[in-house]
Each structure stands twice: as structure tokens, then as C-alpha cells.
Amino acid sequence: MNAATTTENAAAMADSALAEAPLSTKSIGEVILDVQNISLRFGGVKALTDISFDVREHEIRSIIGPNGAGKSSMLNCINGVYTPSEGSITFRGKTFSHMNSRQVAEMGVARTFQNLALFKGMSVLDNIMSGRNLKIKSNLFLQALRWGPAEREEIRHREFVERIIDFLEIQAHRKTPVGQLPYGLQKRVDLGRALAMEPQVLLLDEPMAGMNVEEKQDMSRFILDVNDEFGATIVLIEHDMGVVMDISDRVVVLDYGRKIGDGTPDEVRNNEDVISAYLGTSH
């Protein structure tokens, strides 16, 4: 893409959500995602037992808990990877007892992965572009020939992706196959792909696992900016207590598949059950 086409399509860009998103006008809204009495069993193993919580629009909602508490399982239920044994999930007023991943994606829920699940052989650009797949509507043959409306549409999506690349500060790696990038950058690409879906709810599964302090700061900043600028609601799983307490609006605490705490970071910090789950108690 050359500079001339970029300016030509500046107008077309104006309708993209990114351009419209107001800056830093965070106001927590209605309940957007409501999880009711979810239980999940694998044979005899109870991964989740009777979990209920809600997520409000524009908030950062964290799920924390010791290892094996069922955090990722919870996320996988919301994302449609696992089908809960019992319970229901209400998204924007529609209730589901089970969803499949595609429906979830179509409704505007995107996710990142704990163990990087990127398309390793594809470039950074293609990885993020793949997040736009559900939004590309033009005819297959026109796309193949890059002709007429299909070309204009491709350019529009590309502009959007370029903004994400700028936002995540990975301009220099645009054409690099993702598999060759260092870990911290791969995590950003993972986030970028999810952002390309223009999600209403963004599920982040340990976005800071295995990062050093500096990388964690960068990632925290991205998460806050995504929440602010893109207006996305964020459900965050994270181990780093400092980060969670700093950036979350509300926190759910799980232990052995049960909910033991729910509230603002301060409430959770002073909750007896939570303290004993993390530090142990004397009996």
C-alpha cells in the first residue's frame, strides 16, 4: 500500500470504531455478561462448582485464584470451548446454556490465550488481519482478483489493522513471521488479533504470564488503553496480584472451582476466605 491510497482512504476510515471511540470517558454501564450457577465436570473431576458473577459494560473484571482454581476453565466456558455441565450464560440479554466458539465470536467476544496460540507461520499483519475475517463480506472471486469493491474493503480493513499495529507499537515487525518474534511481542500480537475483531468483551487469559517487569508495565498500559479508548469490557485472568489490584474494577476469586470472594480490589484484599486461600490458615 502506498501513501497515495492511504490518504485517499482516510475518509473511509472515519467510520471505523477506533476513530469514533471517545477518549477516556470511562463510565461503567449495565450488566453485559451474566454467568449463572455454572458447573463444569470432567468425569469425576469438578473443575467448577456453582459459579455466578456478572460483568458490567466497560469495566475491567478480573478472575484470580491459586493454580488449578478453575480460572481458565471459566474463561473457556464463556468462550464456548467447554460446555458447562450446568448453568447458563447471559450475554446482552440473551441466555445460552451452551455456545459454540463461532457464535461467541460473532457476538463480539474475543480472547487471548495463556499459552500463545498464534498462527506461527503467518506474518504479524496476517495474524491480525485474520481477526477481521468475520467482518470481510465481499465475494470470494472478487477478493482473489482484488477487484473493485473487494479491494476497497480490503484496504479499509488493512487501515484498521495498521492502527492496531501502531497502537501496540509493533510497526517494525509487520512482515515478520510471528514464530520468530520474542515472547513479549507475541503476546502483543495475540492481543492485536483479538482487538481486530472489535470485541465488546475481551477475555484475556494471563496476558502477563512469563513477562519481566517492564513488559508487564507495557501490557498493563495496553490493557488500560484498550479499556479506555476502544471501550471494550475486559475479563482478565492474572496471577500478578499487584497488577490485578491496580487495574481491576472488580475481582472474582476462585479456589478449587468455587467462588470464595467477589468485589472491589479492596474488599477482596480484606476477605478472610481469600486470605486463607492464598496464605493458608492455622487450624
Binding residues for another protein, rule: CB under 8 A, are 79, 81, 101-102, 104-106, 110-111, 113, 117-122, 126, 129-134, 136, 140, 143-146, 177, 179-180, 193-194, 197
Phi/psi for 31 (5° steps) reads -70, 125
Say if residue 61 is exposed, middle or buried (CB neighbours under 10 Å; 0-12, 13-18, 19+).
buried
* CB of residue 129 to another protein, shortest distance in Å: 6
Helices (H), the chain: 3-8, 10-13, 17-20, 71-78, 101-106, 124-130, 140-145, 149-167, 183-195, 213-225, 241-247, 265-269, 272-279
Shortest distance, CB of residue 131 to another protein, whole angstroms?
5
Q: How far is the CB of 55 from another protein (least distance, A)?
A: 18
35/105 with CB nearer another protein: 105
Q: Which is nearer to another protein, 35 or 104 (CB)?
A: 104
Q: Which is nearer to another protein, 202 or 277 (CB)?
A: 202
Q: The C-alpha cell of 141 is what? A: 472471486
Say which amino acid occupies 40.
L
Q: Which is nearer to another protein, 119 or 256 (CB)?
A: 119
Q: How many CA atoms lie within 13 A of 162 on its CB side?
A: 12
Instruction: Indicate the residue among 104 and 277 with the shorter CB distance to another protein.
Output: 104
In the beta sheet, which residues pair with residue 89? Answer: 35, 96
